[in-house]
Amino acid sequence: MRIAIVSHYMPPHTGGVEQVAALLARTYADAGHEVSWIACATPLPPGEATEEGVRFVRIADANVLERRFAMPFPLIGLGGWRTVARAVAGADVAHVHDCLYATSIAATRQRTPYIVTQHVAMVSFGGGLIDPLLATAYRTAGRDVLRRARHVAFVSENVRDWFTQHVAPDLRASLIPNAVDTSLFHVASDAERTAAREAFGIPRDAVVVLFAGRLVPKKNVRALVDALGHTDAHLFVVGDGPERDALAALGHRVTHVPRIPHARMPEAFAAADAFALPSTGEGLPLSLIEALASGLPCVVSDDPAFAGLAACDAVIRTPLAQLSSALVDALAMPASRRVTSRAWAEARYGLARFRDAYLALLAEAAR
């Protein structure tokens, strides 16, 4: 099959959607399909390239909403719209990531059959006029994209339930959680841990909490910094964004690496003793399941997005007001919890199930 993958961004722009799309691009190419991936170019210039059997089409965009308001909604012009349209029209089937991006809407205006992976429910951007406008957009343009899809794959129960209740209750849909390559993300040896800390400049004997993600308000980085201020732990941050100034409060007890290739993320997890993601409005964050596969105890917020992890002994769900004590508890977990964390990831987020589910959906959609 000729498969067109359409997303808002692609690497080196950082984000979970980009990494899931990258995993699918490799999966489809490895299965012998002809794969094109179309997305906005930020932070690279527009252009085309072919790497490892995948054709990358980077289109010109205006990234003002992310730059000014931390809203990852790149804007495209007529030329970008036409580029998306041509690429999708030349495919047998398209795989669209999320329903409300400009690239998604452009892709789904063609006659090519498509499926959608919906990664997130509605995220609040501080209230005011933005939130009701966004909700209206989901109930109009987003609903249209989802209803015309041959199939919609939701990454978590929370995302599925939000769309069922607020957008469209009658979609052709299923639940396909994100996946992680458990051969790459694994419980680190002592030697790997020491080497990783040396590579990132982290004190060898520190107790380390890792945060990986964009430094934007919904991730609650300021709350994490405040909570760690009541402990002796060292914060290791992989990611960047407008909230980076909050890190200064920890002084020498923070190591900040704004961006690394995703191929080095196993090394980042190897350097940590625990993982923290006290965010809201998530789908199924790739960084979280990578942390679980790496055998790390995890601390997350009590946001409904994380309700599905309640049965995992290696995950602590906590209100932000109790974040500090939750981090202390996570760091005190026995080594046996690493086995629990790893086993949870292997049982639920393996590549084989993920690959087979999506290849079957695409084959059915292309008929």
pLDDT digits over 333-354, tens only?
988 877 888 988 999 999 999 9
Q: How high is the pLDDT of residue 69?
A: 85
Check whether 20 has a pLDDT greater than 90. Answer: yes
Check whether 127 has a pLDDT greater than 90. Answer: no
Between 3 and 262, residue with greater pLDDT:
3
* Rounded Cα distance, 355 and 252, in Å: 43
* Rounded Cα distance, 169 and 360, in Å: 23
pTM of the predicted model, to two decimals?
0.90
Dihedral over alpha carbons 163, 22, 81, 98 (to 10 degrees): 0
Q: How high is the pLDDT of residue 311?
A: 85
Please, what is the Cα angle at 49 between 43 and 52, to 5 degrees?
110
Angle between helices 221-228 and 323-331 (to 10 degrees): 70
Check whether 83 has a pLDDT greater than 80. Answer: yes
Mean pLDDT of 209-228: 95
Residue ranges, CATH 3.40.50.2000, the chain = 2-179+350-366, 190-348
Q: How high is the pLDDT of residue 28?
A: 97
Q: How high is the pLDDT of residue 80?
A: 96
Check whether 305 has a pLDDT greater than 90. Answer: no
Q: How high is the pLDDT of residue 337?
A: 76
- Is the peptide bond preceding residue 43 cis, with omega within 30 degrees of 0? yes
Locate 325 and state its tokens. Answer: 């004590």
Check whether 306 has a pLDDT greater than 80. Answer: yes
Question: Mind listing the pLDDT tens digit for each residue in 246-257?
Answer: 999 999 999 999
100-113 residues labelled b (16+ CB within 10 A) or e (exposed): bbbbbbbbbbbebb
Question: Mind listing the pLDDT tens digit for each residue in 131-186?
Answer: 899 999 999 999 999 999 999 999 999 999 999 999 999 999 999 999 999 999 99
Q: How high is the pLDDT of residue 125?
A: 80
What percent of the chain has a predicted confidence (pLDDT) above 90? 84
Of 3.40.50.2000, 3.50.50.60, 3.40.50.620, 3.90.180.10, the CATH number of 2-179+350-366 is 3.40.50.2000
Q: Which range (59-63, 83-87, 250-254, 312-316) has the least confidence?
A: 312-316
Of 3.40.50.1360, 3.40.50.10490, 3.90.1150.10, 3.40.50.2000, the CATH number of 190-348 is 3.40.50.2000
Mean pLDDT of the chain: 94
Check whether 304 has a pLDDT greater than 80. Answer: yes
